[in-house]
Amino acid sequence: MSQNNIIESLTGKTTNKHKSRIPAKLDFLQSATGLILALFIVFHLIFESSILLGKESMYALTMMFEGEFFIEGGSPIFISVLAMVIFTIFIAHAFLAMRKFPSSYKEYMRYRTHAKLMNHEDTNLWFIQISSGFMLFFLGSIHLYTMMTQPQNIGPFASSDRIYSDLMWPMYLMLLVSVILHAAVGIYRLIVKWGWFDGKDAKANRIRNKKIIKLAVIFYLAIGIFSLLTYMKIGYDHQDNYGERYHLPNKVEHAN
């Protein structure tokens, strides 16, 4: 056991008689990992909703992420590596954010009673954030692990089969709602937490930023739900050919 740790745990000071810089680093890392994940989701949901433009569009994007532009036919390993990187950041973020959760009956009871009595919007938003964050521990892990271990099963038919025939749609519906709410509230709180876009009138800009984020939530929920319905429709139509992969017209699809 490090003597530095023993001294700090007993005195609250490091050996050079200063407060530890670790809380600052943890606070920064919580925000940084959250920002990376939120930005990832912002683009991920746009990409996955390419199915709304047709199977060809979704297939073209899948091939792009499989690196078709520099490896002929692409390789799902790139998806796997990306999922692994995101999963690592996801776990780090969950670990850091958990520090803020109510950790006992007394804390939870005091917080919830206070929040319900006060009915303050940002305080209520935090409850949405911790609830959705808690759900994401499980839902996000299922999705990321699936993408990490079965990256070849992405495509207009493969994804639709997974969603419809493999009965993953309830999980994806809950994941969609949780991740959009969590990311939206998270981005809003990052903005106020670090004073981004405060400008000359921080109060007015906070109201404006909140409105923009609410509109973004509606937009992302709409494209997310319509995409999910589209995947389910394709999966329903394709259930008798479960496992068959999508082929571009007049082109042989890569081996899966």
The residues that touch another protein, with contacts defined as CB under 8 A, are: 18-21, 23-24, 26-28, 99-100, 102, 107, 110-111, 114-120, 122-123, 125-126, 189, 192-195, 198, 202-203, 206
Q: For residues 100 and 214, which CB has a smaller minimum distance to another protein in the complex?
A: 100
- DSSP state at residue 51: G
Closest CB 16 distance from another protein, rounded Å: 11
**Residue 1: CB minimum distance to another protein, A:** 22
- What is the phi-psi region of residue 253: left when phi exceeds 0, alpha when psi lies from -120 to 50, beta otherwise? beta
Maximal C-alpha separation, the chain? 73
* Nearest distance, CB of residue 223 and another protein, angstroms: 28
Nearer to another protein, 52 or 202 (CB): 202
Least distance in angstroms from the C-beta of 40 to another protein: 22
Q: Which residues contact 227 (CB under 8 A, 6 or more apart)?
A: 48, 49, 51, 52
The answer to whether the CB of 58 falls within 8 A of the CB of 155 is yes
Residues 6+ apart with CB under 8 A from 10: none
Of 203 and 251, nearer to another protein (C-beta) is 203
How many Å is the Cα radius of gyration of the chain?
22
Q: Which is nearer to another protein, 174 or 192 (CB)?
A: 192
In the complex with another protein, the residue whose CB is nearer, 190 or 221, is: 190
CB of 227: closest distance to another protein in angstroms?
A: 32
Spatial distance between the Cα atoms of 143 and 161, rounded to a whole number of angstroms: 15
